């Protein structure tokens, strides 16, 4: 077998192996995406219901602007510092996912806060590696795995609540890839603290001078419930950010692996065509040599 035919055959085998690997990774990412999407949808329903309850509390207390709480109020003595939490992946092979998140985070920090006034927390090995490569100081590198657990996220959120209420930072923001649809994921900066004052639910508003009654009866008083529900809102919001980030990561990996599989398939087809041409050329050459040798013997 001529050397060029052996080389092409070796390349075909290598590309075939890559195609099988990327196809397997695509299927794994697809299964994880479906599982995490289900989890994110379930937590989203809880977060939405919690927000509706806070809105009912706001209706019971009056207008949203009259509500006073340490998690809503801006610091009396601003420090000029903010804490930024960036959510990236533990592994690569997910296209531009991590690059888009990090560019969003750095762009926001440089334009709005300044690197010197930022305490940076990064979740995920890829984001931590990006910061090391660019010589960016990371205050707290963290890892939560492929499927974040609420108990661990709750501890992180409680730490941010304590730091904010103690006046350590003026705000806490999360930069992550928000999952919107299968075809759209957006790198987003979300303010975790301070919370926006909850707006009164529209169902509790007056209609033609007649007050509509709330669907909830609160015990204890709404002021006391705010001390429980507002921290819970911070924790569930942060957990939802983690879930959205993981769903977007698996979707990005699924798309990237599908593109890699398709590219490998096209490359294998091209190599197969080259192999057939090279083999045909070799056979034609051998036949020509045989015919030539037979003619010389006549």
pLDDT at residue 206, as a whole number: 44
Distance CA(215)–CA(228), nearest Å, equals 19
In this prediction, residue 280 has a pLDDT band, given cuts at 50, 70 and 90, of confident
Q: Against a cut of 0.85, is the pTM above it?
A: no
pLDDT at residue 215, as a whole number: 59
Q: 256-276, pLDDT tens digit by residue?
A: 999 999 999 999 999 999 888
Choice between 279 and 215, residue whose per-residue pLDDT is larger: 279
Q: 89-112, pLDDT tens digit by residue?
A: 999 899 899 999 999 999 999 999
> Residue 82: beta bridge partners?
118, 171
Contacts of 164 (CB under 8 A, 6+ apart): 70, 71, 171, 172, 193, 194
Lowest-confidence region among 61-65, 131-135, 289-293: 61-65
Residue range 214-220: mean pLDDT, rounded: 65
Tell me what the pLDDT averaged over the chain comes to. Answer: 85
Q: Can you give the length of the chain in residues?
A: 298
In this prediction, residue 79 has a pLDDT band, given cuts at 50, 70 and 90, of confident
The domain limits of the chain are 24-204+213-255
pLDDT at residue 67, as a whole number: 66
Contacts of 175 (CB under 8 A, 6+ apart): 84, 85, 86, 87, 101, 104, 105, 108, 187, 188, 189, 190
Q: Which of 81, 187, 92, 86 is nearest to 142 (CA)?
A: 86
Fold of 24-204+213-255: Pyruvate Kinase; Chain: A, domain 1 (3.40.1380)
Distance CA(107)–CA(93), nearest Å, equals 24
Lowest-confidence region among 13-27, 64-78, 151-165: 64-78
pLDDT at residue 205, as a whole number: 43
Q: 125-184, pLDDT tens digit by residue?
A: 999 999 999 999 999 999 988 888 999 999 999 999 999 999 899 999 999 999 988 888
Residue 64 has pLDDT above 60, yes or no: no
Q: Is 68 left (phi over 0), alpha (psi -120 to 50) or beta?
A: beta
- Over the chain, what HEC string results? CCHHHHHHHHHHHHHHHHHHHHHHHHHHHHHHHHHHHHHHHHHHHHHHHHHHHHHHHHHHHCCHHHCCCCCCCCCCCCCCCEEEEEECCCCCCCCCHHHHHHHHHHHHHHHHHCHHHEEEEEECHHHHHHHHHCCCCCCEEECCCCCCCHHHHHHHHHHHHHHHHCCCCCEEEEEEEEEEECCEEEEEEEEEECCCCCCCCHHHCEECCEECCCCCCCCCCHHHHHHHHHHHHHHHHHHHHHHHHHHHHHHHHHHHHHHHHHHHHHHHHHHHHHHHHHHHHHHHHHHHHHHHHHHHHC
Choice between 226 and 15, residue whose per-residue pLDDT is larger: 15
Q: 175-216, pLDDT tens digit by residue?
A: 999 998 888 899 999 999 988 766 554 444 444 444 444 556
pLDDT at residue 207, as a whole number: 46
């Amino acid at each position: 077998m001529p050397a060029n035919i052996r080389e092409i055959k070796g390349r075909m085998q290598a590309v075939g192996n890559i195609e099988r690997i990327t196809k397997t990774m695509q299927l794994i990412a697809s299964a994880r995406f479906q599982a995490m999407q289900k989890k994110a949808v379930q937590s989203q329903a809880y977060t939405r219901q919690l927000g509706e309850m806070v809105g009912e509390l706001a209706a019971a207390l009056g207008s949203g602007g009259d509500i006073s709480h340490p998690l809503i109020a801006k610091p009396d003595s601003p420090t000029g510092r903010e804490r930024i939490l960036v959510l990236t992946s533990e592994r690569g092979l997910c296209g531009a996912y991590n690059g888009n998140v990090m560019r969003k985070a750095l762009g926001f920090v440089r334009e709005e806060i300044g690197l010197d006034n930022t305490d940076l927390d990064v979740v995920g090995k890829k984001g931590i590696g990006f910061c090391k490569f660019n010589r960016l100081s990371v205050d707290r590198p963290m890892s939560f795995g492929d499927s974040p657990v609420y108990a661990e996220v709750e501890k992180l959120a409680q730490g941010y609540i304590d730091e904010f209420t103690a006046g350590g930072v003026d705000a806490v923001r999360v930069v992550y890839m928000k999952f919107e649809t299968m075809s759209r994921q957006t790198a987003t900066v979300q303010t975790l603290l301070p919370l926006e004052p909850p707006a009164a639910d529209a169902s509790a508003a007056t209609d033609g001078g007649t007050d509509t009654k709330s669907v909830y009866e609160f015990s204890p008083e709404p002021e006391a419930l705010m001390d429980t529900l507002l921290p819970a809102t911070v924790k569930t919001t942060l957990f939802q950010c983690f879930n959205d980030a993981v769903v977007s990561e698996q979707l990005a990996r699924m798309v990237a692996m599908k593109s890699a599989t398709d590219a490998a398939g096209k490359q294998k087809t091209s190599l197969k065509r080259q192999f057939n041409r090279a083999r045909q050329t070799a056979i034609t050459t051998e036949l020509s040599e045989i015919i030539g040798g037979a003619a010389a013997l006549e």
